[in-house]
């Protein structure tokens, strides 16, 4: 009995020492970010989706129960209500303040649109069908997404103010969608189980290059593509690929694919690691909080959860990172429809130490 008690006391002492060491280690680490929580448009739900290099943030926010509007936020003007938007995280902004998103037309069909600071909202054309969704915009105002054809098939498209809409899919029957576009006009096209690289600036769309990564993929303006590679059951490598330099593994996830994955033009990567439930006899005992990280080419991996106030029944999802390293995300409740937007801005004097 005494031996058992001694073992328990020893374990408690060891845990106490570990806790003290962790606390000391954390206290010595520099605070790398300044944190701002975004307001709402009147409801209890704010979900930021994209941030540009001027610090302008766009997303959707509830104005009343189950009614969501597009918002534009910056420190100068605060929250601006830009009207109805489809309730999804596919809202994008470029450095000119142009916004690409999706709304419902008077017939309740989803339609891609562009909001411009000078011209307001403009609905984009389709490829002959009734619906279209926007999935990205670059700094030249080129919008990409998926639009319905006259044959009721969704095709990847690129649109700009000069050339109008352009079908990026050579086959009439193949369903595709354009997932991301960089400033060089390179587009990631998702076709069935494959990811392809195509130029939105060429006259022909028959020149496709396969991309050897999958999952949540995005291309930056240097031509680097971030994505995942399956390496085993529930095991994924987050990898960086470039047509010239090939593949580079960044890290491995052992609990499934990432919940979010974004890259900026200096190859900083943010990702959310999915939460793995602990079960016993088929029943969930507990679900730990998801983990969120920045992978920096110089500093390595930085945990971001410690900078954000996350409640017991809440989870943080990272949504975007701009070229200045500013990160946005959403702290969402697991019990109801509440969501808070959060902005993490690097503190230069701490970051450069």
Q: Answer yes or no: is 22 within a domain.
A: no
* Edge-to-edge order in the sheet of strand 300-303: 260-263, 269-273, 291-296, 300-303
Q: Answer yes or no: is 24 within a domain.
A: no
Q: What is the DSSP letter of 269?
A: E
Alpha helix stretches (DSSP H) within the chain: 2-28, 348-351
Listed in sequence order, the residues at least 6 apart from 243 whose beta carbon sits closer than 8 Å to its beta carbon are 197, 209, 223
Report the domain count for the chain: 1
Q: Answer yes or no: is 328 within a domain.
A: yes
Print the domain residue range for 104: 45-351
The tens-digit pLDDT sequence of the chain (353 residues) is: 555 565 555 655 555 555 555 444 444 456 899 999 999 998 899 999 999 999 999 999 998 777 899 999 999 999 999 999 997 889 999 999 999 999 999 999 999 999 999 999 999 999 999 999 999 999 999 999 999 999 999 999 999 999 999 999 877 778 999 999 999 999 999 987 789 999 998 765 556 788 999 888 999 999 999 999 998 888 899 999 999 999 999 988 887 778 889 999 999 999 988 665 544 445 544 445 688 999 999 889 999 999 999 888 889 999 999 999 999 999 999 888 899 999 999 998 877 76
Give the Cα separation of 161 and 67 in Å (integer): 30
Quote the radius of gyration of the chain (alpha carbons, Å): 22
Helix (H, G, I), strand (E, B) or coil at 245: coil
Give the Cα separation of 104 and 84 in Å (integer): 8
pTM value is 0.87
* CATH code assigned at 102: 2.120.10.30
Q: Answer yes or no: is 341 within a domain.
A: yes
Q: Answer yes or no: is 10 within a domain.
A: no
CB 214 within 8 Å of CB 227:
yes
């Amino acid at each position: 009995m005494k031996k058992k008690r001694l073992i328990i006391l020893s374990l408690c002492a060891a845990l106490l020492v570990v806790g003290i060491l962790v606390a000391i280690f954390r206290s010595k680490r520099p605070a790398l970010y300044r944190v701002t929580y975004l307001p709402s448009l009147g409801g209890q739900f704010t979900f930021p989706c994209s941030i540009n290099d001027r610090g302008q943030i766009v997303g959707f926010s509830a104005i009343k129960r189950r009614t969501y509007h597009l918002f534009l936020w910056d420190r100068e003007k605060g929250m601006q209500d830009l009207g109805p938007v489809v309730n999804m995280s596919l809202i994008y902004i470029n450095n000119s303040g142009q916004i690409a998103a999706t709304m419902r037309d008077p017939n309740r069909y989803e339609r891609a649109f562009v909001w411009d600071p000078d011209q307001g909202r403009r609905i984009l054309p389709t490829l002959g069908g009734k619906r279209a969704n926007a999935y990205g915009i670059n700094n030249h105002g080129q919008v990409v997404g998926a639009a319905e054809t006259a044959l009721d098939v969704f095709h990847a498209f690129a649109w700009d103010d000069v050339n109008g809409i352009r079908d990026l899919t050579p086959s009439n029957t193949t369903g595709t969608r354009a997932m991301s576009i960089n400033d060089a006009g390179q587009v990631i096209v998702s076709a069935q189980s494959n990811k392809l690289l195509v130029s939105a600036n060429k006259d022909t769309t028959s020149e496709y290059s396969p991309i050897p990564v999958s999952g949540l993929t995005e291309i930056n303006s240097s031509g680097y593509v971030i994505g995942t590679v399956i390496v085993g059951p529930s095991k994924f490598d987050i990898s960086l690929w470039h047509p010239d330099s090939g593949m580079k593994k960044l890290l491995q996830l052992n609990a499934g694919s990432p919940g979010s994955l974004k890259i900026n033009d200096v190859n900083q990567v943010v990702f959310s690691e999915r939460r793995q439930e602990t079960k016993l006899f088929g029943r969930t005992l507990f679900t730990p909080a998801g983990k969120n990280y920045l992978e920096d080419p110089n500093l390595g991996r930085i945990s971001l959860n410690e900078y954000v106030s996350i409640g017991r029944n809440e989870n943080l999802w990272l949504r975007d990172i701009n070229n200045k390293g500013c990160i946005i995300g959403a702290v969402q409740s697991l019990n109801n429809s509440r969501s808070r937007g959060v902005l993490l801005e690097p503190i230069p004097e701490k970051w450069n130490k």
